[in-house]
Amino acid sequence: MSIEVKIPAVGESISSGVVSVWHKKSGDHVDAGDALFTLETDKVSTEIVAEKAGVLETLVPEGQEVKIGEVVATIDDSKAAPAKPAPAEKKTASASDETKKPAAPRERAAGAQALSPAVRRIVDEEHIDTASVGGMGKGGRLTKGDVLAAAENRGAKQTGDGESGAPPVKDQKDRQSAGDRFTRKRMSPLRRKIAAQLVMAQHTAAILTTFNECDMRAVQELRAKSQEAFTKKNGLKLGFMSFFIKAAIEGLRAVPTLNSRIEDEDFIENHFYDIGVAVGTERGLVVPVVRDADKKSFAGLERDIADYAAKAREGKLKIEDLQGGTFTISNGGVYGSLLSTPILNPPQSGILGMHKIMDRPMAVGGKIDIRPMMYLALSYDHRAVDGKEAVTFLIKVKECIEDPSKLPLDF
Amino acid sequence: MDKFDVVIIGSGPGGYIAAIRAGQLGLKTTIVEKDKELGGTCLNIGCIPSKALLTSSDHFMFAKKEAQKHGIMIDNVHVDLTKMLQRKDKVVKTLTGGVRALMKTNKVTTFEGLGTITAPGKVSVQSSNGGKQEIETKNIVIATGSVPMELPFAKFDGKTIVSSTEALCFTEPPPKLLVIGAGAIGLELGSVWSRLGSEVTFLEFLPRIAVGFDLELSNQLQRALTAQGMTFHLEAKVTAIKIDNGRATATATKGNEELKFDADKVLVSVGRRAFSDGLGAEKIGVALDERKRVKIDNHFRTNVEGIYAIGDVVAGPMLAHKAEDEGIACVEIIAGKSGHVNYDVIPGIIYTNPELAGVGLTEEQAKEKGIDFRIGKFPFRANGRAIANEDVEGMVKFVADAKTDRILGAHILQHAASELIAEAASVMEFGGSSEDLGRTCHSHPTLSEAVKEAALAVEKRALHIVNR
């Protein structure tokens, strides 16, 4: 029997995605659990695995937009190996075997030239390079819809280019990957979304960054002391992030304007604390949101973060997991960053950047002592937040971290 | 006897086409047919004989009513029904004989008798003369088709209450013919006997005729057939048929009204049901659905290994060409190739005059699916060839995606709609747009120019009408 491979629901408000890469080809034998293809949506990307072993037959090409529930492949478990051609037609097949390999690209080029009348008009009028457009018609042929979409996408890109003053790439040769000098490939939907968000943040907010540093010794000692009991009680480790979330909430309480957003001519101050925690994944950065972080225990925060990290790795984050944060914490330290200027996650007004903990000689009580130090950065929207407030926030965070007894320790 | 690669049960268009393709692919193939002649319902008692009679009666109407418009004066136009029926039988014979020859050419053997699956890989053939043979095979394709559906309260008696089979060979036009069900079969056979002199009345349960076809064109067809003298009662539910002295009285309710119709013959054409009587499929565990159709997956496989099914006996429209395409795809899959049927592009036709043809989504279906679409229409009264033909009834209508312009549906009402629809189907099969069709050169003067014009009308640039 053959089973259908359908696009699973990846989030409530996500209705479609793109089959970005097939990891297996039609005719391949797959085992249960083998990754079949990567599904990308504008928020998350995830690998879809085979539920059963059998011979795969793919039904959509790479790059095709697909709807949730759509059948994109079948797996036939009745065949152990790819089917062999029937004897009667084998002769003709073997006769052309030798010429088959070199002929394949030529056939494709010829196919690309055989354009339908409407496609031909649009290609001429819009100067579209047909080789760069994926065809959704029979046998991969270009349809009018394909080239209209290509023209539209390129139109959007060109106006963007124009604004930033970058010259549009005109040389057709330059558009393709040239040997090993460089590789050109289309950005994934997730990557494109991130790019658009970042540029939007830079364009709309007046972003400014203020710095400070904190001594991590107290937190490190407290963690070391409590780790065993905490792990035993909660079944997961006590990390640094929960301390910073709690410290940030103390900071936000002291400086409420930072827990806010600007909407047109209005200033909206939030009285709840939904804290986004940036998580790097293979496909890009995602920022799941810890809800009502002020009401959660340290263990509750650690559990939420661990759950989100696992979901992000498995590509199971839902869009609602990523929406509605009021403030964000980003930890570049996990990659070794000593200092950085984080970029706002619009429409939020502030983002706290954590960094690498490094032993540095510090002057403590008139003596030089080696302390585990971390630089802190706060990027903020100067439209909403004054410099004094931003500095106040960061000092509050620093104080809480250096003296955790200021935090509601509940483990 | 050697083991077969494929045994096909049923030699209708699904079965015999599957057999030809299996033969082409080098599979050792046999076909089992319970009737004397090959070809199944379509060739013997369906599509082909009905078309023979439709054409003959259409010629009669031309001679009687149209010829004089062309200045051809024919006196004493009348019908020799015996001759007309003989010609029909000859047509059938030519074609069934042709199928037999095709079986030979493709090295497909035939067994005459009722095929029963006794176990996976085993078919027993019970011939009408009492002989019994057992066949062993690697694969079985069930292609047993369908039979006319009966009304539970008015079973077929073969004389007064009849199915399409008998309505193909009335020896004289019944003075009054009542047709229950205004679908393709009822409308076609009703047309035949109306043209040959019967007073034809249709009782249709639904508020429209030709269900499944575009509503606007169906309504136009109803007006045309009414003008030809046929009577329609829509939303009429037949509740009883009484036979008295060889004549029938049918009772139907229409709203709160109770209507009575007397008739010499009643043609019940309310649909067809999957036929698998005596096949034994259920006994060996082949799953059927709630309408007794054989359940298959998208590779035509039943739940029993090595047993496949195609055509009217499985779900989907009961159309010969759908069965043919499934037959081909099915045996290609059996041979280890990739067989595929595109169910979105299967045309359907009613061979009345004008003919009604449609492929893909109707305007109503597109609306229902919430698709953003555009419509392009062109009437044949603005087409040069149609005017020259003195045959201007009908129009072409396209449903195209508003954004991509892809053709989603094409609908044609015209004397030659059955031939014209193929162009639209080809373009649709390749994912073509209305503009593609509109930019394709069509010879002048032809009816097909109206197809091109309707495609142009989608983007409001038809040439011979005012674009609104």
Q: Is B188 exposed, middle or buried (0-12, 13-18, 19+ CB in 10 A)?
A: buried
Contact pairs from chain A to chain B, CB under 8 Å: 85
Chain A segment 109-128 residues within 8 A of B by beta carbon are: 116-119, 121
Binned at pLDDT 50, 70 and 90, residue A178 comes out as: low
The contacts of residue B79 (CB under 8 Å, 6+ apart) are: B60, B196, B197
Instruction: Look at the alpha carbons of B212, B215, B217, B218 in this order and tell me if their dihedral is positive or negative.
Output: positive
Query: In this model, does residue A98 exceed pLDDT 70?
Result: no
Is there a shared CATH topology between the B161-270 domain and the B354-458 domain?
Answer: no
Contact B455, B437 (CB under 8 A): yes
**How close does chain A come to B312, measured CA to CA in Å?**
22
Q: Which residues of B touch A84 (CB under 8 A)?
A: 336
**Measured at the alpha carbon of residue B80, what is the angle toward residues B74 and B84, in degrees to the nearest 5?**
110
| pLDDT on residue A281 | 74
The whole-chain average pLDDT of chain A stands at 81
Structure-block tokens of residue A34: 């083998």
Is the domain B161-270 a CATH 3.40.1390.10 member? no
Q: Which residues of B touch A (CB under 8 A)?
A: 24-27, 297-299, 301, 303, 305, 335-338, 401, 403-406, 429-433, 435-436, 438-440
| pLDDT on residue A312 | 84
A73, amino acid identity = A
DSSP letter at A372? E
Tell which wins on pLDDT, B243 or A7.
B243
Cβ <8 Å between A137 and B27:
no
Region A13-20: mean pLDDT is: 76
| pLDDT on residue A278 | 86
Region B382-407: mean pLDDT is: 97
SS3 of residue A394 by DSSP: helix
DSSP letter at B433? B
Structure-block tokens of residue A18: 């793109």
| pLDDT on residue A167 | 42
Q: Which CATH number fits domain A194-406: 3.40.50.10490, 3.40.50.1370, 3.30.2310.20, 3.30.559.10?
A: 3.30.559.10
| pLDDT on residue A107 | 37
Q: What is the pTM of this model?
A: 0.61
User: How far apart are the C-alpha atoms of B196 and B85, rounded to whole Å?
Assistant: 12
B422-436 in b/e form (b: 16+ CB < 10 A) is: ebbbebbeebbbbbb
Q: Which of B78, B233, B299, B444 is catalytic?
A: B444
Among B336, B338, B435, select the one facing A57 at the smallest CB separation: B338
Binned at pLDDT 50, 70 and 90, residue A12 comes out as: low
Binned at pLDDT 50, 70 and 90, residue A91 comes out as: very low
| Sequence ranges of the domains in chain B | 4-148+273-334, 161-270, 354-458
A388-405 pLDDT, tens per residue? 999 999 999 999 999 999
User: How far apart are the C-alpha atoms of B432 and B398, rounded to whole Å?
Assistant: 12
**Measured at the alpha carbon of residue B34, what is the angle toward residues B28 and B38, in degrees to the nearest 5?**
65
Fold designation for A115-186: Dihydrolipoamide Transferase (4.10.320)
| Sequence ranges of the domains in chain A | 2-76, 115-186, 194-406
Q: Which long-range contacts (CB under 8 A, 24 or more apart) does B242-247 make?
A: B243/B157, B243/B160, B243/B161, B246/B159, B246/B160, B247/B160
Query: In this model, does residue A42 exceed pLDDT 90?
Result: no
SS3 of residue A382 by DSSP: coil
Terminal CA-to-CA distance of chain B, rounded, Å? 70
Instruction: Look at A126-130, B100-104, B121-125, B160-164 and tell me which has the smallest mean pLDDT.
Output: A126-130
Instruction: Look at A89-98, A309-318, B447-456 and tell me which has the smallest mean pLDDT.
Output: A89-98
The whole-chain average pLDDT of chain B stands at 96
Q: Which long-range contacts (CB under 8 A, 24 or more apart) does A318-322 make?
A: A318/A10, A318/A11, A318/A12, A318/A14, A318/A44, A319/A11, A319/A12, A319/A13, A319/A14, A319/A41, A319/A43, A319/A44, A320/A11, A320/A12, A320/A13, A321/A11, A321/A288, A321/A289, A322/A43, A322/A286, A322/A287, A322/A288, A322/A289
| pLDDT on residue B146 | 97
Which class is B4-148+273-334 in CATH? alpha beta
| pLDDT on residue A403 | 95
Contact A276, A287 (CB under 8 A): yes
Q: What would the DSSP string read from start to end of B104-152?
A: HHTT-EEEESEEEEEETTEEEEE-TTS-EEEEEEEEEEE---EEEPPBT
Q: Which residues of A touch B429 (CB under 8 A)?
A: 138
Q: Which residues of B touch A83 (CB under 8 A)?
A: 336-337
Interchain CB contact of A144 with B (< 8 Å): yes
A382 is catalytic: yes
A127 is catalytic: no
Q: Which CATH number fits domain A2-76: 2.40.50.100, 3.40.50.720, 3.40.630.30, 2.130.10.10?
A: 2.40.50.100
Report the length, in residues, of chain A.
Answer: 411
CA dihedral B314, B319, B323, B325 (to 10 degrees): -130
Cβ <8 Å between B298 and A74:
yes
Please name which of A56, A27, A83, A93 lies closest in space to residue B335, comparing C-alpha atoms. Answer: A83
Region B444-450: mean pLDDT is: 98
B169-197 pLDDT, tens per residue? 999 999 999 999 999 999 999 999 999 99
Q: Please give the share of chain B, as a percent, with pLDDT higher than 90.
A: 97
The contacts of residue B105 (CB under 8 Å, 6+ apart) are: B23
Q: Which of A129, A386, A403, A410 is catalytic?
A: A386
Q: Which residues of B touch A133 (CB under 8 A)?
A: none
Residue A30 phi, psi dihedral angles, 5° rounding? -115, 150
Which residue on chain A is closest to B335 by alpha carbon? A86
Q: Which residues of B touch A89 (CB under 8 A)?
A: 25-26
**How close does chain B come to A318, measured CA to CA in Å?**
26
A327-346 pLDDT, tens per residue? 999 998 888 999 999 999 88
**How close does chain A come to B131, measured CA to CA in Å?**
34
Cβ <8 Å between A117 and B436:
yes
Q: Which residues of B touch A117 (CB under 8 A)?
A: 435-436, 438-440
CATH for B354-458 is 3.30.390.30
Which residue on chain A is closest to B455 by alpha carbon? A118
DSSP letter at B288? B
Interchain CB contact of A85 with B (< 8 Å): yes
Please name which of B90, B103, B81, B11 lies closest in space to residue B48, comparing C-alpha atoms. Answer: B90
Interchain CB contact of A59 with B (< 8 Å): no
